[in-house]
């Protein structure tokens, strides 16, 4: 969780080269990487022995470690962090535009988000994570009661951001059209433009008085409004491609993959991740975040990394999109794909 900057100054140029070589190689193979491999892999002409010394230093400094005595090295969380912070940003921009994901136009936001998740998952071979927007400051924009059957009314509620909610209200007795008209007028004059917080007990009492014998209905309506708005507060989170986790032996073999997929079914855990991302993004807009291992709040995820971004569709509709993968995920690709997706989301919802 605590995330230190990991300054580049701490390492001289050669160490940086070796560290990145280790990381790059490990990203590809998923196996611990030894000194001999590095000595051939890099352009600097050094023998394996020298590399060994440097690697020993790097280990002491906490960037890499050995899973068991005398085997190759593997990057630590700190190592990955360094890599992500200092070494990606340059390359990323070139790649990101390489191939465009294609989001078919779909009208409903929910469908778009689901499709986005699927796209991310299939493109990256990791797991995608999408949270539906949390509705901020939702003011009531439109409220209407209509008679649908003899003894039931339909309340249609539209809040800022054009979120529409419906609620059937069973009245028990028949209500005539005239009364409905009056109720509609009453409700609209008093409630329109208000936010949930502004609809307090005093206002409700006032409304009930005005409604006279139909105060019962007012109750139902207020309930409906409250419930409708509240219902959107516990946000939905979709995942897609969860089983991609199985493709990575280091997770599969240790049985971690199962744990991880289990937490994908657990809303609370996912919320932790999403919320962390949202919070961090309140200040710096539209930046991508990368959380590595223990930087994540969720314990089961400590063998993963996640790339998150926050989308903002205006009207206070903000949500998070994430790509979850093993620590040795291809950060460049993940971030590139994510960026591309965000661009497209922007495009779709900007012209509307």
Partner DNA sequence: CGTTAGCACTCGACTTGGTTGAGTGCTAAT
Partner DNA sequence: ATTAGCACTCAACCAAGTCGAGTGCTAACG
Residues within the interface to DNA (CB under 7 A): 32-37, 45-50, 52-53, 55-56, 59, 66, 68-73
Is residue 142 a contact point for its own copies (CB under 8 A)?
A: yes
- The two tokens of residue 230 are 């509240």
Q: Which does 15 bind (CB under 5 to 8 A by kind): DNA, its own copies, none?
A: none
The 152-159 sheet, strands edge to edge: 140-149, 152-159, 163-170
Smaller CB separation from its own copies, 204 or 242: 242
Task: Name the token pair of 110.
Answer: 């929910």
Cβ 41 to DNA shortest distance, Å = 11
Q: What is the DSSP letter of 133?
A: P
DSSP E strand stretches across the chain: 64-65, 74-75, 127-131, 134-135, 140-149, 152-159, 163-170, 237-240, 289-292, 304-312, 317-326
If contact means CB under 5 to 8 A according to the sort of partner, which of its own copies, DNA, none does residue 73 touch? DNA
Residue 246 sits in the site that holds its own copies (CB under 8 A): yes
The entry of DNA, its own copies, none near residue 71 (CB within 5 to 8 angstroms by kind) is: DNA
Comparing CB distances to its own copies, the nearer of 18 and 153 is 153
Residue 216 corresponds to which tokens in the numbers above?
Answer: 């019962």
Q: How many Å apart are CA 189 and CA 184, to the nearest integer?
A: 8
> Distance between CA atoms of 280 and 163, rounded to whole angstroms?
26
Looking at the Cβ atoms of 74 and 157, the one nearer to its own copies is 157
Q: Does 47 bind its own copies (CB under 8 A)?
A: no
Q: What minimum distance in Å lies between the beta carbon of 152 and its own copies?
A: 8
Q: Considering the rule CB under 8 A, would residue 203 count as an interface residue with its own copies? A: no
Within its chain, how far is the Cα of 138 from the centroid?
21
- On whether the CB atoms of residues 270 and 129 are closer than 8 A, the answer is yes
The CB-of-265 to its own copies minimum distance in angstroms stands at 6
The option from DNA, its own copies, none interacting with 46 (CB < 5 to 8 A, set by class) reads DNA
Site mask, its own copies, residues 153-172, x = CB under 8 A? -x-x-x---x-x-x-x----
């Amino acid at each position: 969780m605590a995330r230190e900057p990991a300054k580049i100054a701490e390492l001289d140029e050669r160490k940086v080269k070796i560290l990145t070589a280790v990381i790059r190689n490990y990203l590809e193979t998923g196996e611990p990487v030894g000194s001999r491999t590095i000595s051939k892999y890099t352009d600097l002409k050094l023998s394996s022995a020298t590399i060994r010394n440097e690697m020993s230093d790097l280990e002491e400094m906490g960037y890499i470690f050995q899973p068991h005595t005398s085997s190759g090295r593997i990057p630590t969380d700190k190592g990955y962090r360094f890599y992500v912070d200092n070494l990606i940003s340059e390359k990323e921009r070139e790649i990101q535009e390489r191939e465009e994901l294609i989001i078919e136009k779909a009208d409903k936001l929910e469908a778009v988000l689901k499709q986005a998740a699927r796209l991310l998952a299939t493109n990256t071979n990791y797991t995608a994570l999408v949270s539906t927007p949390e509705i901020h400051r939702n003011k009531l924009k439109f409220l209407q009661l209509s008679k649908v059957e003899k003894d039931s009314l339909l309340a249609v509620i539209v809040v800022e951001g054009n979120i529409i909610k419906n609620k059937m209200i069973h009245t028990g007795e028949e209500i005539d059209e005239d009364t409905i008209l009056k109720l509609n007028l009453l409700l609209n004059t008093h409630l329109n433009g208000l936010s949930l917080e502004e609809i307090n007990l005093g206002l409700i009492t006032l409304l009930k008085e005005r409604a006279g014998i139909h105060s019962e209905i007012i109750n139902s309506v207020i309930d409906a409004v409250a419930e409708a708005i509240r219902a959107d507060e516990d946000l939905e989170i979709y995942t897609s491609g969860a089983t991609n986790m199985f493709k990575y032996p280091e997770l599969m073999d240790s049985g971690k993959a199962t744990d991880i997929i289990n937490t994908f079914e657990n809303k609370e855990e996912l919320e932790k991740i999403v919320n962390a991302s949202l919070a961090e993004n309140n200040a710096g807009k539209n930046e991508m975040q990368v959380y590595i291992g223990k930087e994540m709040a969720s314990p089961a995820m400590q063998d993963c990394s996640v790339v998150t971004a926050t989308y903002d569709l205006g009207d206070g509709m903000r949500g998070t999109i994430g790509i979850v993968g093993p620590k040795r995920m291809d950060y460049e690709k993940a971030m590139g794909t994510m960026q591309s997706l965000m661009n497209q989301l922007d495009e779709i919802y900007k012209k509307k």
